[in-house]
Structure 1
């Protein structure tokens, strides 16, 4: 059984671009090893993350995220079972969000929320649109 979790948080301190690249590299390696899928978007003042995977792994990761000192003010927006991960073929490790495939993956995710009658669909659509600066 799989689960998806989405959350927003605020970075607790400013890291350098090299620090963020090292962080994303570590996250990607851990996620690949644990078969965790998803996306992490960081803007100047917000982290938006989608994580998907097997329920016990995602539950343990979420608890770890909640105690991570690199961010604060975590707002859990979605935590629900799913049939299969939406981002399992999402091969982007660290990327500036301007690639068509990246944007399509986000909208595929949003559409899956809509088709599953997720109440937060329009909220996610607005958040992602603002974070990647596109019109919906």
Structure 2
């Protein structure tokens, strides 16, 4: 049986693209060695992630995630068992927000792609369903001015 867990958090103001790339590299290595899959979305300075794997390993990883100083307000939204993985390969999606209006079309396409991905992905349990619902709410939020 595969265990799934979904959480969300808010990035600290000082988080940079280099920090995000470091998170991605660490996660790829750790998750590959521990049989953990899932998806991490970073959008509008917020993280939403679903993790899949052995229950004890997921809980150990979640404790490390809670201690990470690059984000705050870590909130576990849902967890539970599933027969099949929703994400056979771990991935991370983020859009490097640039104030330049020339990127508006690219930004809107990114949002459309996230929504399409949510609609086309098979949802095998409540944790996966909640992950995609929260992502849709995040995309619908007005820009964060803080």
TM-score range, shorter chain: 0.7 to 0.9
Consecutive unaligned residues in structure 2, runs of 5 or more: 96-108, 141-146
Query: Where does residue 11 of structure 2 map in the other structure?
Result: 11
TM-score (norm 2): 0.69
Q: Does 1:35 align with 2:74?
A: no
Which of the residues 117, 129, 134 maps onto 2:136?
A: 129
CA separation in 1, counterparts of 2:11 and 2:135?
18
Give deviations 1:103-133, integer Å, cap 9, x for gaps.
5367425x323xxxx3994x54432224456
Query: Where does residue 50 of structure 1 map in the other structure?
Result: 50
Q: Alignment length, in residue pairs? A: 126
Give deviations 1:66-106, integer Å, cap 9, x for gaps.
22222111111111111121111x36456659496995367
Is the contact made by 1:25 and 1:94 (CA closer than 8 Å) also made in structure 2? Answer: no
TM-score (norm 1): 0.73
Whichever of the two has the greater Rg, that structure is: 2
Consecutive unaligned residues in structure 1, runs of 5 or more: none
Is the contact made by 1:8 and 1:76 (CA closer than 8 Å) also made in structure 2? Answer: yes
TM-align CA RMSD? 3.1
